[in-house]
C-alpha cells in the first residue's frame, strides 16, 4: 500500500481571512516575528498500487475534487505505507 500526503493551501493571490485572524492573535501574544500565516488542509490517502502511475491518479483526484484550483494550490508526496 502507498500512503499519499496531500497539502491543499489557498493560492498566494487569495486573501486568507482565517490566517490573518490567527496572525493577529499570535501578535497579540507578543510573537511579533510572525510575518504571515496561511491555513490549509492536510489529507492522507491510502492507495493500493495499480498499473497506472500513482502520481497521475493523485494529480487527477486533486484537480477534480481535493482542491479547487480557482483558489487553491496542492502538492503531494507518495511514500510506502508501513504495514502493521
25 touches other proteins by CB under 8 A: no
- Give me the half-sphere count of Cα atoms (radius 13 Å) on the Cβ side of residue 64: 6
Total residues interacting with other proteins, rule: CB under 8 A: 13
Looking at 31, 49, 68, 77, which residue binds other proteins (CB under 8 A)?
A: 68
Query: Which bin fits 68, alpha (ψ -120 to 50), beta or left (φ > 0)?
Result: beta
User: Do the beta carbons of residue 46 and residue 1 sit within 8 Å?
Assistant: yes
75 touches other proteins by CB under 8 A: no
Residues that bind other proteins (CB under 8 A): 10, 13-15, 17-18, 21, 41, 65-66, 68, 70-71
Amino acid at each position: 500500500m502507498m500512503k499519499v500526503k496531500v497539502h491543499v493551501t489557498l493560492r498566494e493571490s487569495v486573501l486568507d481571512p482565517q490566517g490573518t485572524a490567527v496572525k493577529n492573535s499570535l501578535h497579540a501574544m507578543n510573537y511579533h516575528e510572525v510575518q504571515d500565516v496561511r491555513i490549509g488542509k492536510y489529507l492522507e490517502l491510502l492507495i493500493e498500487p495499480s498499473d497506472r502511475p500513482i502520481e497521475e491518479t493523485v494529480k487527477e483526484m486533486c484537480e477534480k475534487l481535493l482542491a479547487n484550483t480557482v483558489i487553491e494550490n496542492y502538492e503531494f508526496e507518495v511514500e510506502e505505507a508501513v504495514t502493521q
